[in-house]
Amino acid sequence: MEILSFSLGPLETNAFFLVGEAGFYVVDAPEGCWEKVKQISEDRGIRCEGLLLTHGHWDHIADLPYFNEANLSVWAHEGDRDLIENPGLMASFLPFPVDLVPGKVDHWVQDGEMLDLSIGKARVLHVPGHAPGNIAFWFADKEVVFGGDALFCGSIGRYDLPNGDGPLLLRSIKEKLFSLPDATVVYPGHGPETTIGQEKSQNPFF
pTM for the whole thing? 0.96
| pLDDT bracket for residue 101 (50, 70, 90) | confident
The span from the CA of 51 to the CA of 61, in Å, is 10
Looking at residue 92, its pLDDT comes to 63
Torsion of CA 165, 54, 75, 40, to 10 degrees: 170
Q: Parse the chain into domains and list their residue ranges.
A: 2-202
| pLDDT bracket for residue 161 (50, 70, 90) | confident
Element holding 64 (H helix, E strand): helix 64-69
Percent of the chain with pLDDT over 90: 89
Question: Architecture of domain 2-202 in CATH?
Answer: 4-Layer Sandwich (3.60)
Looking at residue 94, its pLDDT comes to 67
Is the pLDDT at 133 greater than 70? The verdict is yes
Is the pLDDT at 87 greater than 90? The verdict is no
192-203 in b/e form (b: 16+ CB < 10 A) is ebbbbeebeeeb
Looking at residue 95, its pLDDT comes to 67
Q: What is the mean pLDDT of residues 103-112?
A: 97
Q: What is the mean pLDDT of residues 8-27?
A: 96
- Indicate the range of 27-31, 34-38, 94-98, 115-119 predicted with least confidence: 94-98
- Indicate the range of 3-7, 14-18, 87-91, 196-200 predicted with least confidence: 87-91
The 10s digit of each residue's pLDDT in 69-86 is 999 999 999 999 999 998
Percent of the chain with pLDDT over 70: 96
